[in-house]
Chains A and B, each alone.
Chain A
Amino acid sequence: MSARREDRGTVSGGFGATLKGLATVFRQVFRADVTEEYPRRIQPPPPRSHIGRHRLNRHEDGLEKCIGCELCAFACPADAIWVVGADNDPEHPVSPGERYAKDYQINYLRCIMCGMCVEACPTRALTLTSAYEMSFLTREDAILTKDQLLEPPAPLGTAPGTEEG
């Protein structure tokens, strides 16, 4: 209470403070906007950012890195990942070794983008991309299947709700 009484101070001191405040206002008025004009103007994120949709990677020879071990599903705190392993056909392997993922799905209505799955992946098969646009028109659309996850994410600006989408 006593501090507040002091703050009021003299008339001149009070007016000085007001001027100081106004100066801040005017300084900000002529600064550039920080707000992104999304989705009218879509800014690409920094090149090495890993903030968006997952991607399942391949080895250079085209084999899938994913071996269907389910460690990502185990690590997932939101139970968003579904994996079913299966035996590789030695003649036509999908991935190196005995096991591959017959089915792989991520439900983006559940995913909280924590990246624990990526940390758990023993083969670096699962990584995050910079595709941060996660809007879907149906619940089914929000579950990405293995063939979708193996493909690079759609370019920015094509998700539903953006201008192109």
Chain B
Amino acid sequence: MSVEPEPVTLTIDGKEVTVPTGTLVIRAAEQLGIEIPRFCDHPFLDPVGACRQCYVEIEGQRKLFTACTTEVAAGMVVHTQNTSELAHEGQVANLEFLLINHPLDCPICDRGGECPLQDQTMAFGPGESRYIEPKRVYRKPIPLSPLVLLDRERCVLCARCTRFCDQISGDRFIEMFARGAGQQVAIAAGEDFRSPFSGNTIQICPVGALTASTYRFVARPFDVHVADGICGHCSAGCNVRVDVRRGEVVRVLARDNAEVNDAWICDKGRFAFRAADGPGRVTTPLIRERGLEPASFDEVLGRVAEWSRGARVAFLTGGRLADEDAFALSKLARVAFGTNDLDHRRAFHGGLAEELEAASALRVTYRDVERAGAILVVGLDAEQEVPILHLRIRKAARRGARVFVVHSRETRLSDVAEHLLCRPGQEGAVLERLIEGGAAGSDEERVARALRTAEGAVVLAGSLLAEHPLATDVALRLSRRLGAGFALVPRRAGDRGALRAGVHPALLPGGRRLAVASERAEVEAVWGELRSSEPGRNGREILEACARREIDVLFLVGVDPLRDVPDAALARRALENVPVKVVQSLELGELEPYADAFLPAAALHEREGHLTTWEGRSQRTRPVRAPAGLSRPDWEIFAGLAEAVGAPLGFGSVEELREEMEALLAPREVSERPTAWVGAGVPQWLDEVTLFTYPLLVDEGRLSEGASELKAALEEPAFVEVHPEDAERLHLADGGWARVRTGAGEATLPVRVSSRVAQGSVFVPFNQPGLEANRLLSGRFTAAATLEAVPGGGEGARGGEGIAGPEAKT
């Protein structure tokens, strides 16, 4: 695969071009700027030659060839419609044929105005049809899911959508059905198109056969303002186009970027775009007088500065901040307030792996994953957490990579990967056995050998690995042993950027350790002397300190601890005890009773900025509209606050900010220290079962607010997933109800018995309707739990915290 293919020279329309062997004629023509009409051809799908539109004449051949399936050959002489009458006639005839059954209902079709069939008929077509007989008629449209509508009349049977499902997402919900004029795209009766990638089929449909329910009759291409953005839903960093009509986001499309998302985005990125236009959005600064009352920015910032003068201040943020905001926050906390009590994480990796990720960028990229010979995925459910990475792993598997997953729950990679299921928290022990090579004849031995012998291996570690304090470092050590690439894959869009910027109690920008004088000095050279060289409190310690009243002012920037922190009780205690809470976000939500001041932030598509992918790639996102109301980009608010406390940050524009950022975030070498793995750290399982949780892709998260169609299509109500053997032991039945009890709380949930989950552990999604699972947690995403069957969900199903009684489900 790494061998470069031989170059071949051929002639197209009298022009010579040299391309690698195996290139398709249509791609070679593109290089010359010659456009050949096509419908079924898509650069990221395998060629199929279904639509027959790209006919070209090849000298020495008796028939016309489809350019999208024909590979180049040395000395080939190709004539496209530009130089061959025969090719031109063939294309015109084919277009007339494709239009025979096409309803030509362009005025009501959502594709009208941006339709490849419309455009290419105008450019290459006959202009008139000789067909006067009645056309084929179907019921239209039929919903494939609450998101995707199918109009079979318009379909030209290019099979882009079915090939996408087959080759890219690997979930073959839709398929070509029947033959001839009756051929159509179909889905199994009673089945829903429940793929988290279903929206891509809409975008690649070259006609209006597949349309989005969210965009149905909403706008035309000339109505909308568009801007190139970056998706803010996860750390995948998908390149998107955001369409705004009259100030309201109406559509999100994927942009092609072969380095990042190819041509795909997940359905959350595509359909969850209404959060910033929702009724919960607050766009004026508020201050608590009698109630929360509107005020000017100056007034609120002045009051906040007053409150924090000489006070003990701490900053919590989540994964929403753009890189610029994170950098400004890091500087604000340290320079203006002299505190190191700031954090963005909710799982605490610590250790060398995190420092490495903070210090450098692009050590492992999408491309590395795509070309890897073997991939080890640890503690990561890629489809649910970083969906586009999931697609890349699948792409690699199609290219022959061996994929292994060490996780407590089988992921949707199961058809291409081998899973080593283990109880949560034990991943480190499994990795340790892989490092040692595994016992003879064991699965580990086989996996270790496959990883060792593969050409270019990659280890991808997810955030669930942080459940054991050293597990990420063990994963790092394994990757070193294998000579493999290593990446920590955070879930949220701002995670990596915040880590790089030093929104961290012990790390300064660029992963420089606060406690190491030489590294601190590099930052002090730019920022001036830092008041404190002691590492501060991490997110959990900040909340604990708040609960103990050891912090006076708590800044909550784009984070809602009540929902985000894996310990709802602690979050509540902290909010009740800290004297001053300053909320900076798009909305107040559940923080309304607590907030003493509110600072309205601009949404991602309302401001200039960058977001960093899990690889460390910083990508620019552009505004498509002005910030709503009085809201401002977060960094501007931080700059205003610094000004109000009399310690300006020193940047008046985003360019100045970036200049300083780039100076401090240039890649650095980090000396690798050996990690001490405490082998005895393998937990002894005394409790009955271990409950573990992570957020599913479509959940009750704030950024999915208003995405009713998406939720109708993909959101599942809360459940508890139990291994069949555990279910038998605990007398739980599939479809029955179980009371799940942990040290923090209890909940009654419907049971799913499935061998997808590791024995001895039960899975509960983090934030599905019916349960905010953080009420069951005390600081970690795992907890010892007991389960008991609740007959018919009977009495006692209520009570306690976070209860989802069976009544609530009906």
Contacts and interface: CB of A to CB of B under 8 A. Distances in A.
A118 interface: no
B108 A71 contact: no
B108 A99 contact: yes
Contacts of B223: 70, 73
B216 A87 contact: yes
A86 B217 contact: yes
A97 interface: yes
A68 B223 CA distance: 13
Contacts of A84: 218
B138 interface: no
Contact of A98 (B113, B140, B218): B140
Nearest to A68: B217
A99 B217 contact: yes
Interface in B104-146: 105, 107-108, 112-113, 140-141
Given A74-B113, A74-B222, A98-B140, A69 B107 contact: yes
A97 B222 contact: no
A44 B786 CA distance: 88
Contacts of B141: 98
A93 interface: no
A69 B800 CA distance: 54
A68 B222 CA distance: 14
A56 interface: no
B63 interface: no
Contact of A74 (B105, B108, B217, B220): B220
Classify the interface of chain B: helix, strand, loop or mixed: loop
B104 to A, nearest CB: 10
A126 to B, nearest CB: 12
Given A74-B220, A87-B217, A123-B107, A69 B112 contact: yes
Interface string B83-119: 0000000000000000000000101100011000000
A117 interface: no
B149 to A, nearest CB: 10
A67 B107 CA distance: 8
B108 A69 contact: yes
A16 interface: no
Contacts of B112: 69
A98 B112 CA distance: 14
Contacts of B217: 68, 85-87, 98-99
B117 to A, nearest CB: 17
A148 B141 CA distance: 32
A122 interface: yes
A73 B246 CA distance: 15
A122 B109 CA distance: 13
B224 to A, nearest CB: 12
B140 A122 contact: no
A100 B771 CA distance: 41
A37 to B, nearest CB: 44
Interface in A129-162: none
A85 B218 contact: yes
A145 B622 CA distance: 35
Interface string B201-233: 000000000000000111010110000000000
A67, A68, A69, A123 interface centre (most CB from chain B within 10 Å): A69
A6 to B, nearest CB: 62
A100 to B, nearest CB: 9
Interface string A61-102: 000000111110110000000001111000000000111000
A122 B107 contact: yes
A123 B107 CA distance: 9
A98 B220 contact: no
B108 A97 contact: yes
A71 to B, nearest CB: 6
Contacts of B105: 97
Contact of A67 (B108, B113, B220, B222): B108
A71 B140 contact: no
A97 B140 CA distance: 10
B108 A98 contact: yes
Contacts of B220: 70, 73-74
Contacts of B222: 73-74
A81 to B, nearest CB: 11
A145 B223 CA distance: 19
A74 B220 CA distance: 9
Nearest to B216: A87
A87 B709 CA distance: 15
Interface string B505-516: 000000000000
A122 B108 CA distance: 10
B323 to A, nearest CB: 37
A71 B113 CA distance: 9
A113 B220 CA distance: 23
Contacts of A68: 108, 217
Contacts of A70: 220, 223
A99 B218 CA distance: 11
B52 to A, nearest CB: 29
Contacts of A71: 107
Interface in A18-75: 67-71, 73-74
A70 B217 CA distance: 10
B105, B108, B141, B217 interface centre (most CB from chain A within 10 Å): B217
A118 to B, nearest CB: 15
A96 to B, nearest CB: 10
Contacts of B107: 67, 69, 71, 122-123
Nearest to B112: A69
Contacts of A87: 216-217
A70 B107 CA distance: 8
Contacts of B216: 87
A71 B140 CA distance: 22
A104 to B, nearest CB: 13
A116 B107 CA distance: 16
A36 to B, nearest CB: 40
A130 to B, nearest CB: 27
Interface string B41-65: 0000000000000000000000000
Interface in B214-265: 216-218, 220, 222-223
Nearest to A120: B107
Nearest to A102: B217
Nearest to A101: B217
A84 B246 CA distance: 11
Contacts of B218: 84-85
Contacts of A67: 107-108
Interface in A114-128: 122-123
A44 B220 CA distance: 39
A150 to B, nearest CB: 19
Nearest to A97: B108
Nearest to A98: B108
Nearest to B220: A70
Interface in B577-629: none
Contacts of A86: 217
Given A74-B222, A98-B217, 14 more contacts: A67-B108, A69-B107, A69-B108, A73-B220, A73-B222, A73-B223, A74-B113, A85-B108, A85-B217, A87-B216, A98-B108, A98-B140, A98-B141, A122-B107
Pairs of residues from A and B, 4 with the lowest C-beta to C-beta distance, nearest first: A85-B217, A69-B107, A99-B108, A122-B107
Interface of A: 67-71, 73-74, 84-87, 97-99, 122-123
30 contacts: A67-B107, A68-B108, A68-B217, A69-B107, A69-B108, A69-B112, A70-B223, A71-B107, A73-B220, A73-B222, A73-B223, A74-B113, A74-B220, A74-B222, A84-B218, A85-B108, A85-B217, A85-B218, A86-B217, A87-B216, A87-B217, A97-B105, A97-B108, A98-B108, A98-B140, A98-B141, A98-B217, A99-B108, A99-B217, A123-B107
